[in-house]
Amino acid sequence: EAGVAQSPRYKIIEKRQSVAFWCNPISGHATLYWYQQILGQGPKLLIQFQNNGVVDDSQLPKDRFSAERLKGVDSTLKIQPAKLEDSAVYLCASSLLVQPPYEQYFGPGTRLTVT
Amino acid sequence: AQSVTQLDSQVPVFEEAPVELRCNYSSSVSVYLFWYVQYPNQGLQLLLKYLSGSTLVKGINGFEAEFNKSQTSFHLRKPSVHISDTAEYFCAVSEIRAGTALIFGKGTTLSVSS
């Protein structure tokens, strides 16, 4: 079974530029999560989708971050314009939600450096 | 709301020594408990999980963890570590309600040297 795929793996941009990350979850997983992991901290949820609907985006900085999950499969996370503090690893995870504990499977992440 | 505190940011140990990584949590509702490992430049891999039942949980790579409800702790242990165990370890909780996000601690860096 293929795991969660993410691209690109690394991205370097200048502040005020825009960037987009892509995630392809495990086939059949209806729930998709985007987490932000700043150096020295644990991952923090940015947004959660159930199929193509948003379940929780309370911690998403909506003035600069946006995300979509068209057709309930792939997802894209965008930052526009980027700030220095957005430098982090962006992790995508998916879950089947069939039985407890509703395990989440993580992709390798995209490491973003904003200069 | 839930929170997770990992009491040690860095734990250096020698190969074949035992190790314990400490995790305390706070929650007003019932939670599931997890330990994840992150090797350099890789995503998170589940080590073990606690749902209910026996408080001693065994995971992959020889790791185990013990749930202590009265102390709200979920410490991770391994009796004999290897160089290859060098990684970042995260303790996490989630509500038992389906589809809730994970709340992570800040992580513990385990460094194993020969």
Q: How far apart are the first and last CA of chain B?
A: 41
Confidence (pLDDT) at B54? 86
pLDDT for B33 beyond 70: yes
**Token couple for A4:** 């969660």
pLDDT tens digits for range A56-98: 999 999 999 999 998 889 999 999 999 999 999 999 999 987 6
Confidence (pLDDT) at A102? 80
Between CA A88 and CA A102 the distance in angstroms is: 26
Between CA A91 and CA A107 the distance in angstroms is: 6
CB pairs under 8 A between A and B: 62
Whether B14 contacts B113, CB under 8 Å: yes
- Chain A residues near residue B4 by CB distance under 8 angstroms: 42
**Token couple for B19:** 């190790």
Task: Answer whether the bond into residue A25 is a cis peptide, omega within 30°.
Answer: no
- Chain A residues near residue B36 by CB distance under 8 angstroms: 106
CB contact B90 to A (< 8 Å): yes
Nearest CA among A45, A51, A102 for reference residue A72: A51
CB contact B49 to A (< 8 Å): yes
Nearest CA among A74, A58, A57 for reference residue A21: A74
Cα dihedral sign, B12-B50-A41-B43: positive
List the helix and strand counts (H, then E) for chain B: 0, 12
Parallel/antiparallel/unpaired status of strands A88-95 and A110-114: antiparallel
CB contact B63 to A (< 8 Å): no
- In which residue are the tokens 């408080």 written? B55
Instruction: Show Cβ contacts of residue B74 under 8 Å, excluding neighbours closer than 6 positions.
Output: B23, B24, B25, B33, B35, B50, B65, B66, B67, B68, B91
Whether B38 contacts B45, CB under 8 Å: yes
Whether B73 contacts B56, CB under 8 Å: no
DSSP summary character for residue B85: G
Confidence (pLDDT) at B29? 87
Cα dihedral sign, A84-B90-B52-A102: positive
CB-closest option in B44, B49, B107 to A101: B49
- Chain A residues near residue B105 by CB distance under 8 angstroms: 42
| pLDDT tier at B105, thresholds 50, 70, 90 | very high
pLDDT tens digits for range B34-76: 999 999 888 899 999 998 888 899 999 999 999 999 999 999 9
* CA angle in degrees (0–180, nearest 5) for B66-B5-B57: 15
A-interface mutation test, from B44, B52, B90, most A Cβ less than 10 A away: B44
Contact B102 A101 (CB under 8 A): no
- Chain B residues near residue A48 by CB distance under 8 angstroms: 99, 101
Confidence (pLDDT) at A1? 65
Whether B19 contacts B11, CB under 8 Å: yes
- Chain B residues near residue A46 by CB distance under 8 angstroms: none
